[in-house]
Amino acid sequence: MVTYVCLGTLFLFVCISLTVYHLRGRRAPSSEQLDKQVLSILKSSGQRDRR
């Protein structure tokens, strides 16, 4: 009986997570966005090394 409760809870959690993910409309970032993000990370790590 406890197993069924655990499985039901897990099922509800997965359903809610998928719904939230779908509603947010997550999309894969474009290559330009990835390039900008990588450059900003590299610049910020370079500034930390100089201090």
4-40 confidence digits (pLDDT tens): 999 999 999 999 999 988 888 777 778 999 999 999 9
- Polymer length of the chain: 51
Assessment of whether the complete model's pTM goes beyond 0.95: no
Tokens standing for 29?
A: 């970032």
Q: How many domains does the chain have?
A: 1
Cα separation, 37 vs 51, in Å, equals 22
